[in-house]
């Protein structure tokens, strides 16, 4: 391959706002990454079906290309999919079936196993089995958005556009009215313990809201769960709030895998409160935003209410913006550039 690489990119989600009933957090960063790869001279061909057009009625075909066949490519890039019983493990003709897993299997069989095409697996949800034989193939690289990825895996964090950080105004963000004290945007998946420890007791005493899919809320009858919201509303929720808590499943916390919520919040001026149980993540937010329990959450929110709109608030937001440096798109593109050139070798 020359400098330009034709990347066959497989993802199950959206480039645009998508639809309401979807857990696709990739909308916050996927298009940034893809546009960044294209800007550096690579070509992208999407290998799953065009959900933006089929489900959201958003026609992006003037800007991007889809191919659900088996076209010639230089590198296969997979946002890893895993079995979800009753959804992608059912026969293709069954109502409610999604074909993401079947299609991924087809791509791996053809490109990775049959043709030995260099393959990059981005295991964004930590669902790839530690003993999966794919990890042993010389032409396969596994990436994880974690500070401490699995043995042999490469850190590839969720990217935020450099320009979004550089053009954010701490002064304007600090001056914005914030009527809601505490918010959380995200789904329940494996977060009950963190929610109970850090969020729920504090929220019970503060103006708050929780947006996302939380199908089992019986333990917290007095809290304000509003369900899923349209993706553009995520920014609005954070922009109207003083603080959020970075709630993570344990499988994320123990490897320092911070989700896109950190930069979604900071870019809207919403202070991200960071549990100290998250491995090696202390440097990602100022020490004044570290928490060990729900009492800390309540105290930090009270302090934020006192400084709201002041120079202290402006300086805090500016500090948070500076600490987003590890998530910069330019940094992640450097990682991928090295991997794509590593993939330039003849696979074994």
DSSP label of 328: B
As beta bridge partners, residue 319 has none
> Is the separation of the CB atoms in 264 and 288 below 8 Å?
no
Number of H helices, E strands in the chain: 13, 12
**Res 341: pLDDT:** 83
Let me know whether 236 and 299 are in one domain: yes
Domain count, the chain: 2
Beta strand 290-291 pairing with 241-245:
unpaired
Q: Give the span between the Cα atoms of 238 and 229, in whole angstroms.
A: 13
Are 67 and 179 contained in the same domain?
Answer: no
Residue 347 confidence (pLDDT) above 70: no
Residue 252 pLDDT exceeds 60: yes
Q: Is residue 347 part of a domain?
A: no
Write out pLDDT tens, residues 77-134. 999 999 989 889 999 989 989 999 999 999 999 999 999 999 999 999 999 999 999 9
Residue 346 has pLDDT above 50, yes or no: no
The reply to whether 144 and 199 lie within a common domain is: no
pLDDT-derived band of residue 47, with 50, 70 and 90 as boundaries? very high
| pLDDT score at 3 | 76
CATH number at residue 113: 3.40.50
Residue 344 confidence (pLDDT) above 80: no
| Residue 183, domain CATH | 3.40.50.2000
Mean pLDDT across the chain: 95
> What was the pLDDT predicted at 326?
97
- On whether both 321 and 333 belong to a single domain, the answer is no
The reply to whether 37 and 169 lie within a common domain is no
What percentage of the chain exceeds 70 in pLDDT?
98
Please give the pLDDT value at position 348: 40
Cα–Cα distance, 81 to 158 (Å, whole number)? 17
Does a structural domain hold residue 348? no
The two tokens of residue 138 are 């010389």
Give the tokens for residue 172. Answer: 């304007």
Residues of the domain holding 297: 162-327
* Residue at 1 is within a domain: no
List the structure tokens of 305.
């209410």
């Amino acid at each position: 391959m020359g400098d330009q690489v034709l990347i066959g990119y497989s993802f199950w989600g959206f480039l645009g706002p998508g639809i309401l009933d979807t857990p696709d957090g990739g909308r916050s960063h996927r298009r940034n990454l893809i546009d960044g790869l294209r800007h550096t001279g690579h070509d992208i061909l999407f290998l799953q079906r065009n959900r933006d057009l089929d489900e959201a009625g958003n026609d992006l075909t003037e800007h991007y290309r889809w191919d659900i066949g088996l076209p010639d490519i230089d590198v296969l890039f997979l946002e890893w999919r895993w079995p979800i019983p009753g959804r992608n493990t059912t026969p293709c003709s069954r109502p409610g079936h999604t074909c993401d897993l079947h299609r991924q299997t087809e791509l791996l069989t053809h490109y990775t196993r049959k043709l030995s095409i260099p393959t990059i697996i981005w295991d964004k949800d930590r669902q790839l089995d530690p003993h999966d034989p794919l990890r042993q193939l010389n032409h396969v690289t596994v990436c994880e958005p974690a500070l401490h990825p699995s043995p042999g895996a490469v850190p590839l964090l969720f990217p935020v556009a450099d320009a979004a950080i550089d053009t954010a105004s701490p002064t304007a963000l600090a001056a914005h009215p914030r009527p809601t004290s505490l918010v959380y945007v995200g789904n329940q998946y494996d977060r009950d313990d963190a929610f109970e420890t850090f969020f729920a007791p504090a929220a019970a005493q503060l103006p708050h809201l929780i947006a996302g899919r939380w199908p089992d809320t019986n333990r917290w009858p007095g809290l304000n769960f509003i369900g899923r919201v349209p993706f553009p509303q995520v920014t609005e929720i954070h922009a109207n709030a003083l603080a959020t808590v970075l709630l993570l499943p344990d499988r994320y916390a123990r490897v320092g895998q911070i989700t896109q919520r950190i930069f979604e919040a900071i870019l809207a001026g919403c202070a991200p409160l960071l549990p100290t149980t998250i491995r090696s993540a202390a440097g990602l937010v100022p020490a004044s935003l570290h928490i060990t329990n729900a009492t800390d959450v309540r105290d930090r929110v009270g302090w934020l209410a006192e400084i709201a709109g002041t120079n202290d608030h402006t300086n805090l937001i500016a500090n948070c913006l500076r600490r987003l440096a590890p998530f910069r798109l330019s940094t992640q593109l450097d990682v991928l550039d090295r991997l794509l050139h590593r993939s330039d070798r003849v696979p074994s």
